[in-house]
Structure 1
Amino acid sequence: MQTDSSFTFVLFGGTGDLSMRKILPALFEAHRAGGMLADSGKIVAVARHVADRGEYLQWVDEHVKPHASKNGVDEAAWTSFLARIELVKIDLGNPEDFAQLRDAIQDMPGIRVFYLATGPSLFVPICHALAAVGLNHNARIVLEKPLGYDLKSSNAINDAVGEIFAEEQIYRIDHYLGKEPVQNLLALRFGNALFEPLWRREWVESIQITIAEELGVEARGDFYDNTGALRDMVQNHLLQLLAIVAMEPPHSMDSDSVRDEKLRVLRALKPIDPHEIGKVAVRGQYHSGVIRGNAVPAYATEHGVKPDSSTETFVALKVEIENWRWAGVPFFLRTGKRLADRVAEIVVNFRAVPHSALGASALRAGANRLVIRLQPNETIRLYCLAKQPGEGMNLASVYLDLAFDRFFREAQMEAYQRLLLDVINGRLALFVRRDEQEAAWRWVEPILNEWKASTKLPKPYAAGTWGPAAASAMLAQHGTCWLEEEN
């Protein structure tokens, strides 16, 4: 993925946690690899609470370097990377300060990328201030989630940003779409005749998509208590992964072809009947518990959280898609904090054979399954049955492993690295289009409204478990279980 595209990458929130842990490390990896970033490309950090460039580079050295490379940092590459970085000190709340940013970057080469690693309340003021000093031309703008609190607020942000930047200039980022196994899912489906004929209701029994976290709300209690898991994870990450899994083959891999097909999936989601929410949606909130031998507090006692909070930290949903390919196939979505493990995966359960000439063991669970693991270890495994060595026809579950490191010498690219390179090079396919976002909010809102009006509290679950028992009961009604319960 080499490029000659010259660029000026302006990073708002240059001292923030996201910039330190994800954005700058991703840019360093692209720099270190050689050829991915044009030599003339510049990184301009916008920050307020550092004295000068020297102090900022010390901050980067201290806070970014630990995240910059899994195999250690090459000092020569690190030094040359730091040489790309400039600092502009401005107050984001003062539009007049943006003239200083304009003056600092006006002679820098190439496309301008404005990455808003800030709270969403600053998105619109920053865009207005950029336009006021003429910086909305020859530019791309990257918006982090959450983009709004509901459909109305999301539309308000999109309307305001859309008055300043054209839709093709706006990159709404969802880093799960940049993960290597998600890209390989597209390759498996649309590049091989083996899978596509099976990717439909006749052969797929159910699909599970899980994003589980061991961490709690950490220092984000104030934010999270006004957001909750449904807004924070389901409306964006989980529904985007569902759309990728369920989409029809696009005409090509250009940005609009891919996003058109995802949009069709989101618009085909069966609306949630408010009277049926108790059957198809489970919300939970973690209580105190033990994770890896360490006692952790209850959500309601976390800093910034209201003691009587009814905010959900866990969501499990049964979702249906009303189209010919997927009619009748349940999609089970799940996400939560303080769960038993940190894992993100997609599990495609194929139907059992209609008649087994090999005995009951050929109908056993654990076979006829594709597992796409997104984190922590990115793998794709196809589970099937094979005969065990020895006498008799005894079957065991085995798997075929797509081990990337055995076939490709190149290291797997981190999600943020891929997505930032796509922004610099003007590739929109892995970013969320406005109509996709609106369709997701429109589907989620009835659940949000019903939970807001309900007097029922989220179901409790102990930290370090897999969530409320009701989430398992929901799957049991369909004759299945979550993947970890099978083991």
Structure 2
Amino acid sequence: MAGMTKKATLLILGGASDLARRLLIPGAANFLAVHPEAEIDIVGVGTTPQEDYPGFIRSAVQESELVEDESVGERLAKNSRFIEADATDDKELARVIGEANPETRLVIYCALPPSVAGSTIDALCSVELPVGTVLAIEKPIGTDAPSAADVEKRALKVVDESHLYRVDHFLQQSAVSSLIGLLALNRPLLDSFRAESVESVDFVYEETLALEGRAGFYDSTGATRDMHQSHLIQVVMHILAVGGDESVADLLEHASADPANARRGQYTAGEIDGHRVPAYTDEEGIDESSTTETLSQVQIDIDTDRWRGVPVRLRSGKAFGTERKDLTITYLPSDVADGPRTRIVITFDDVLHIQMHVTAGLGVEKHEPLEAVAELHEGHLSPYARVVRALVAGDHRREVPAGTAARAWEVLQPVLDAFDNDEVELEKYPAGSDTFDQWSPPGE
């Protein structure tokens, strides 16, 4: 890839974190498998000693099953080490950074929770960094609009805008790139991608996973903060910006979310894939009186000429019987009898559906549905491998744009406040549900 450095040091603050083990380290291995000419040294940093960090690296790569060639994991493990240090202490950070290979591009990856990330960024301000150092910060960026803006302000004291990456791996999903490409490359689709032709845009992300040991985090967060504020709203804004004059930041500036159009739910006891799942309030670590939502649907309205009047619905939930992860563009009904609708649906396992209507020479009144289905080539890189590629190549095309994390919090704050104050009914659905029928699933 043009502009990609061949040698990089990935300095992971939180080097033994869950994010590093499950996503970032396997992503680095996946990147190396596709780009064998590249070299990546991994330096993990944390306060808990790691006796065998190369072994940690090997296990992370093997468990991910992203890379078939074991030599890739061995190569990454061989070029890895762990340094016990406090990432919030500027002197300890200076020591860690001073030990990095000066012949490589330094990428500092902040894989730390928001409660620690701010102090870490402050500490970095006092450290002299090598020229060209990249700083990557993960979602969630802040816990509300002021704190998100503050994190960005602090980060820009460490590096300039061209060396700051606000990471959201959902933007690196191949399905997102495929839909953006489909719209951008096909003039009939692009010309009709506006309010005059589009009825609604929906992003549904329903998981079969329940809490999976994340009770403490999830109960203080909920579906809306966990998924909508970062992943879902960023993805749809990147898609709605295709072919238009408005940037992601412009669209968010004109976006709003009315609590009257929001719904929330919480799963009760049920069964998923033959396994009994307790009610959310019976899960270990959850208070029985908790009103945290495990299912949320929010409607975003955008007051621009191109998108005014088009509801943009974001929906995510946990503990469903079947996964549903897709983006749907529904076009306005035609003027003929029965008003059939055309839809474009792309799933997160990279299957494209285009639902149309045709006739058999009998006139438009006797139309019938036709669905074209294509299995897309999802590429060789996982989302986090694409994140690593972007960091070493200096590619900012699929990242959270400056200021938009704070603005996303502002857009959703009325809904979050309504949920927190129990102003929106907390509906119930059994774990293992195929879908929440009462909500008339978008795109169906």
TM-score by length of 1: 0.83
Aligned mates of 1:155, 1:75 — CA distance in 2: 42
Aligned mates of 1:64, 1:373 — CA distance in 2: 26
The equivalent residue for 1:31 is 32
Aligned mates of 1:451, 1:302 — CA distance in 2: 21
2:136 corresponds to 1:142: yes
Given the superposition, is the C-alpha separation of residues 104 and 250 from structure 1 closer, same or farther in structure 2, using an over 3 Å criterion?
Answer: farther
The equivalent residue for 2:16 is 15
Aligned mates of 1:457, 1:349 — CA distance in 2: 28
Deviations 1:19-67 (A, max 9, x none): 11211111111111234x533x322122343444xx1112222233121
Residue number among 39, 61, 65 corresponding to 2:62 in the alignment:
65
Please say if residues 149 and 227 of structure 1, whose CA atoms lie closer than 8 Å, have aligned partners that are also in contact.
no
2:442 corresponds to 1:482: yes
2:380 corresponds to 1:429: no
| CA positional deviation for 1:173 | 0.9
Aligned mates of 2:257, 2:121 — CA distance in 1: 34
Residue number among 49, 61, 78 corresponding to 2:73 in the alignment:
78
TM-score by length of 2: 0.91
Secondary structure of 1:163's aligned partner:
helix
Aligned mates of 1:51, 1:465 — CA distance in 2: 41
Aligned mates of 2:135, 2:35 — CA distance in 1: 25
Given the superposition, is the C-alpha separation of residues 315 and 353 from structure 1 closer, same or farther in structure 2, using an over 3 Å criterion?
Answer: same
Aligned mates of 2:336, 2:424 — CA distance in 1: 45
The equivalent residue for 1:380 is 352
Given the superposition, is the C-alpha separation of residues 302 and 388 from structure 1 closer, same or farther in structure 2, using an over 3 Å criterion?
Answer: farther
Given the superposition, is the C-alpha separation of residues 82 and 396 from structure 1 closer, same or farther in structure 2, using an over 3 Å criterion?
Answer: farther
Aligned mates of 1:122, 1:185 — CA distance in 2: 36
| CA positional deviation for 1:430 | 1.0
Deviations 1:270-321 (A, max 9, x none): 453xxxx2x3000111111111222101111223322211211111122222
Aligned mates of 1:22, 1:51 — CA distance in 2: 19
| CA positional deviation for 1:95 | 4.0
Q: Which runs of 5+ in 1 are unaligned?
A: 252-259, 473-480
The equivalent residue for 1:399 is 371
Greater Cα shift, 343-352 or 93-102: 93-102
| CA positional deviation for 1:213 | 1.2
Please say if residues 177 and 430 of structure 1, whose CA atoms lie closer than 8 Å, have aligned partners that are also in contact.
yes
2:45 corresponds to 1:46: yes
In the TM superposition, 1:212-361 aligns within 5 A as 212-249=206-243, 261-270=247-256, 272=258, 277=259, 279-356=260-337
Please say if residues 174 and 379 of structure 2, whose CA atoms lie closer than 8 Å, have aligned partners that are also in contact.
no
Please say if residues 55 and 77 of structure 2, whose CA atoms lie closer than 8 Å, have aligned partners that are also in contact.
no
Aligned mates of 1:119, 1:395 — CA distance in 2: 54
Please say if residues 12 and 42 of structure 2, whose CA atoms lie closer than 8 Å, have aligned partners that are also in contact.
yes
Aligned mates of 2:142, 2:326 — CA distance in 1: 26
2:171 corresponds to 1:177: yes
The number of aligned residues is 442
Please say if residues 102 and 135 of structure 1, whose CA atoms lie closer than 8 Å, have aligned partners that are also in contact.
yes
Aligned mates of 1:325, 1:384 — CA distance in 2: 23
Aligned mates of 1:456, 1:399 — CA distance in 2: 37
Please say if residues 90 and 127 of structure 2, whose CA atoms lie closer than 8 Å, have aligned partners that are also in contact.
no
Secondary structure of 1:431's aligned partner:
coil
Aligned mates of 2:98, 2:310 — CA distance in 1: 56
Deviations 1:378-415 (A, max 9, x none): 122212234689xxx9755333334334xxxx944211
Counterpart amino acid of residue 63 in structure 1: A
Aligned mates of 1:33, 1:271 — CA distance in 2: 41
Secondary structure of 2:284's aligned partner:
coil
| CA positional deviation for 1:326 | 1.8
Residue number among 148, 152, 165 corresponding to 1:158 in the alignment:
152
Given the superposition, is the C-alpha separation of residues 351 and 93 from structure 1 closer, same or farther in structure 2, using an over 3 Å criterion?
Answer: closer
Counterpart amino acid of residue 181 in structure 1: A
Secondary structure of 1:449's aligned partner:
helix
Please say if residues 281 and 317 of structure 1, whose CA atoms lie closer than 8 Å, have aligned partners that are also in contact.
yes
